[in-house]
Amino acid sequence: MAASISRRSVLAAGAGAAVAAALPASAAQAGSRVGFTLNASTLDGGEQVVSVTLGTSRLGRVDPASLTPGTFRVHAKATSPIPLAPGELIFSEYDLDRVVTAARLDHRGDIVLELSHAEGQAGGGTLGYIVNRGRNVRLDLVYTITQLTPFVVRGRGPVTVTDFHQGRLANPEVDAFGYRVSGSGMKYRLYEPRRSGHGRRPLVVWLHGGGEGASLPDNYYDNETTLRANRGALGFATPEAQRIFGGAYVVAPQSTSFWLEDGDRFAPQIREIVREVARRHPIDRERVHVVGCSNGGYMSLKMTVVYPELFASSVPICGVVASLSPGGGRMITDDELRGIDTPTWLVASRDDTTVPPEPNTVHAHDLIPGSLMSLYDTVTWNGYRFPGHWSWIYVARNDPRVGDTRVWQWMARRRA
């Protein structure tokens, strides 16, 4: 996202107007202005706002027994940050009341309103998908809090807050990735592991799908959607992955459009980011791994074609090998596939109708020497069935395995 758009989104996200409580001032003591934070979590199907934290600790010690799910009403409105032309379709805009499932106090004494959320549940997402542009964008979020009944502050009595003000969107996993811009101007996010002792660390390069690229004609280059759309990059920053890799840096570049547009142009820019991170941080250059989904699956293959000695391993997920346009030829030629000598583990699902596995993942597996492949029947996790194209969910959860070896452990053992 360009700076002007980014600022506008942040301002809109903090533009919750003052809200009068539903009770008259005479019903309880009036509280002063209270700010609130939107707490988000990136689920396998994308980021959702899962709770709201009200900064009420400054009012005194709130009696938790005075809180119920009906103490507050939470209304949410989400709109596109980009002006849409007449007839343009965007998925996931909404204007509705969120269901409050619980009201509790956190360790600071602030009130936390837990919100109903689940995979596939509408009305809590932070991203919208603009269909004709093929892009996810971070929605402008405006939340309105209305207090319906007083809560009790010890030593003060019943309190009704008359002014709530929206603050930032907080997602600890996303916020752990710092913002960077390479010398070529390509933006990326970087996770830095906790330092414990000395020694060089591995680097995992995550290459996003087509929907998470920038849209420069719209002046939209947010460098965030790749962390909010799915758990691809986030998975490698979890405590489990960090333990397996021995503390890995994780870098997520963002294309200025989509990787398939011009892999030959983007490949040197990605290599520049790898070199830049390795120059500034203690990276073991023999343990640089590339993982990508869909468009990024293509790009991970492309990187091992162009730079055969750069990576210790490659994990292309539902990657594009054959052109998705009729008669479009191959994005990665058979000779190029045969020439890949980077250890490669391909992942896809048989029910993928976006990038059919047979002419893409299966074909690549047949030609890449020594490659491994995990081919699932469906993409189902925790009882929820996702679209067949979303097989990156399995890699983000370290599910693919051959024998007793899972994909993260396999990657961690590879050396360039």
pLDDT of residue 173: 98
Choose one of 111, 146, 170: the last residue of a domain.
Answer: 170
CATH code: domain of residue 190: 3.40.50.1820
Residues 319-350 pLDDT 10s: 999 987 777 778 999 999 999 999 999 999 99
pLDDT of residue 3: 32
State how beta strands 140-147 and 72-79 pair: antiparallel
**306 and 400 both lie in a single domain:** yes
**163 and 209 both lie in a single domain:** no
Total domain count for the chain? Answer: 2
**195 and 149 both lie in a single domain:** no
Residues 242-266 pLDDT 10s: 999 999 999 999 999 999 999 999 9
Q: Which tokens belong to 322? A: 């054959």
9, pLDDT greater than 60 = no
pLDDT of residue 196: 66
Q: pTM for this one?
A: 0.91
Report the range of poorest mean pLDDT among 179-188, 204-213, 217-226, 236-245. 217-226
**46 and 164 both lie in a single domain:** yes
Residue range(s) defining the domain that contains residue 74: 3-170
Write down the mean pLDDT value for the chain.
92
Three-state DSSP at 198 gives coil
Residue whose C-alpha is closest to residue 108's, from 57, 65, 163, 178: 57
The torsion angles phi and psi of 222, rounded to 5 degrees, stand at -85, -25
**165 and 262 both lie in a single domain:** no
**69 and 159 both lie in a single domain:** yes
pLDDT of residue 32: 79
pLDDT of residue 17: 40
CATH code: domain of residue 52: 2.60.40.2180
Residues 136-166 pLDDT 10s: 999 999 999 999 999 999 999 999 998 999 9
Number of other CB atoms surrounding residue 375 within 10 Å = 17
Alpha helices in 223-357 (DSSP H): 225-228, 232-235, 239-245, 263-280, 295-306, 334-338
**345 and 209 both lie in a single domain:** yes
Q: Return the exposure string of 38-70: e unless at least 16 CB atoms fall within 10 Å of the residue's CB, then b.
A: bbbbbbbbbbbbbbbbbbbbebeebeeebbeee
pLDDT of residue 218: 84
d(CA 231, CA 254): 15
pLDDT of residue 28: 59
Report the range of poorest mean pLDDT among 1-15, 23-37, 188-202, 370-384. 1-15
d(CA 268, CA 303): 9
Percent of the chain with pLDDT strictly greater than 90:
86
Choose one of 137, 170, 203: the last residue of a domain.
Answer: 170
**122 and 144 both lie in a single domain:** yes
**399 and 256 both lie in a single domain:** yes
**166 and 183 both lie in a single domain:** no
